[in-house]
Amino acid sequence: MIMVAMLLVMMAVIVVTGIMGALHPASNVELIDPTTLHLQGEFVESNLGTATEPDGSVTVRLIATQYDFVPHCVDVPVGAPVKFRLTSADVVHGFLLPDTNVNTMVVPGFVAEVRTRFAKQAEYAMPCNEFCGLGHQGMWARVRVVPQEQFAGRTLFERRTCATQ
């Protein structure tokens, strides 16, 4: 009887965690309406790109859409804590910075959040790594890691376009 009870409990745990895991993205459950991204809230156009926080960290907001990331290039400072917040306007995309811990799915209806810190100056190509349609292989953007002083001297527009000064 005890053995059967233990078996049942373990099977129940497997079934419940399996269903819960399938219903929700694992890391960060934040809901958002993908049809009104451009109209209201955190992901309106003027709020996209790299924003500085009072504590010295930066937050990068991006929209993934067929077939580009908006904005297409962002600057972030070396050494500071960086928080990427992404969402999708249409289908499931992927967000990957090669050779870093940044790798997440971007699912419409949810906000994906990844935290990292870049140790050195670099320029990353960020390819979409979820098949999202015929233009998938051409969907990529860039993250430029620039020195703190250079970052501080750049305007919001320059930070979200990587425009050279």
Q: Name the one residue in this structure whose structure tokens are 């969402």.
A: 87
Distance CA(72)–CA(62), nearest Å, equals 9
Is residue 112 part of the contact set for ligand CUA (CB under 6 A)? no
What minimum distance in Å lies between the beta carbon of 31 and ligand CUA? 21
Q: Which of 132, 141, 143, 162 binds ligand CUA (CB under 6 A)?
A: 132
- Select from 112, 128, 141, 143 the one that contacts ligand CUA (CB under 6 A): 128
Query: Site residues for ligand CUA, window 146-165 (CB under 6 A)?
Result: none
Cβ atoms 106, 64 nearer than 8 A: yes
Residue of 107, 112, 114, 130 interacting with ligand CUA (CB under 6 A): 130
| From 77-85, 109-117, 125-133, 157-165, span contacting ligand CUA (CB under 6 A) | 125-133
Can the peptide bond before residue 124 be classed as cis, meaning omega within 30 degrees of 0?
no
Q: What are phi and psi of 42, to 5 degrees?
A: -65, -30
Give how far Cα 130 sits from Cα of 64, 74, 79, 92, Å: 11, 21, 29, 7
Residues 28-67 within binding reach of ligand CUA (CB under 6 A): 64
The only residue of 136, 144, 154, 160 in contact with ligand CUA, by rule CB under 6 A: 136
